[in-house]
Amino acid sequence: MSISSEHYRLYSTNGNGKIRKKIIMNLLKIMIGFWLAIFLSACGSKHDKYVGYWQDSSSEKAVFVINKLDANTYTIAHLLGEDQVLTKLNEGEFEVPSNSVRLVLSEDGSTIRAGTQVLKKITQEQADEIKKILEVEAEQARKVRQNRAACEQLQQELDRKVRERTAHLNHFDPEKNKIKDALLQQYQQQAANIPSCKLSRPIF
């Protein structure tokens, strides 16, 4: 049995052959690590491509954010809403647990189909601008609800006072109307401090 001189140089335990064998082994390790990294990256990128800000194509203020918390946990939320953990699907897609809607990313990664909705990707800067508008609107709505509640409470107090002051009077007694008008005027002064609050004259 003979061994070629080239083979001998590669696997010899002496001289440059041993060094060359070590270099080849190191190169193989590097190549294997490189391709393994690419493979793992390709596997993980399917779901990672969903991360970002997505705007409903039919409503510019309806913007959702998808975040990655760890290797297996992704969440979705409206800009001012609470996070909801998404269900990962093997096809590289997601499902929203609350309504079983499947999220399907387009091939170019620019849109997501969510049932009948189409979400288009936007930048964080665009999302931040929309969020500012939503926060202002939410604060305005909060104040409207607060004022409405205060006005309703004032109306209830007026009605109660009228009942207390006129319970002993006949419905057709002129004094009853005088008491109603006096109390209404008194409570209207308080209502003036509540935007859009208009009190009604008790009819009982």
pLDDT of residue 19: 61
Indicate the number of domains in the chain: 3
Which residue type sits at 188? Q
Tell me what pLDDT residue 82 has.
94
Report the pLDDT value the prediction gives residue 119, as an integer from 0 to 100.
Answer: 98
- Do 170 and 136 belong together in one domain? yes
Domain boundary among 98, 122, 146: 122
Edge-first strand listing for the sheet containing 101-105 = 84-85, 73-78, 63-70, 52-56, 117-122, 111-114, 101-105, 94-96, 87-88
Which of the two residues, 5 and 45, has the higher pLDDT score? 45
163 assigned to some structural domain: yes
Q: Which of 122, 151, 181 is the last residue in one of the domains?
A: 122
pLDDT above 60: residue 16: no
Q: Are residues 116 and 134 in the same domain?
A: no
Q: Please list, in sequence order, all residues whose beta carbon lies within 8 angstroms of the beta carbon of residue 53, skipping any fewer than 6 positions away.
A: 63, 64, 65, 121, 122, 123, 124, 126, 127
Q: Determine the pLDDT at residue 91.
A: 86
Same domain, 65 and 9: no
Lowest model confidence (mean pLDDT) among 41-45, 48-52, 75-79, 199-203: 41-45
94: in domain: yes
* Same domain flag for 175 and 151: yes
Between 160 and 5, the more confident residue is 160
Task: For residue 88, tell me if it sits in a domain.
Answer: yes
User: Based on the domain organization, do 136 and 166 belong to the same domain?
Assistant: yes
Q: Note whether 20 and 68 are same-domain residues.
A: no
pLDDT recorded at residue 90: 86
- Are residues 93 and 65 part of one domain? yes
Could you list the residue range(s) of the whole structural domain that residue 10 is in?
A: 5-46
Is 50 exceeded by the pLDDT of residue 10? no
| 39 and 56 within one domain | no
Collapsing DSSP to helix, strand or coil, 70 comes out as strand
pLDDT of residue 17: 57
What percent of the chain has a predicted confidence (pLDDT) above 70? 78
Reply yes or no on whether the pLDDT at 14 is more than 90: no
User: Residue 78: which CATH number?
Assistant: 2.40.128
Same domain, 146 and 167: yes
Q: Is it the case that residue 6 has pLDDT exceeding 50? A: no
Look at residue 7 and tell me whether its pLDDT is greater than 50. no
> Are 108 and 133 in a shared domain?
no
Task: State how far the Cα of 64 lies from the Cα of 54, in Å rounded to an integer.
Answer: 5
The pLDDT tens digits for 149-174 are: 999 999 999 999 999 999 999 888 99
**Same domain membership, residue 72 and residue 115:** yes
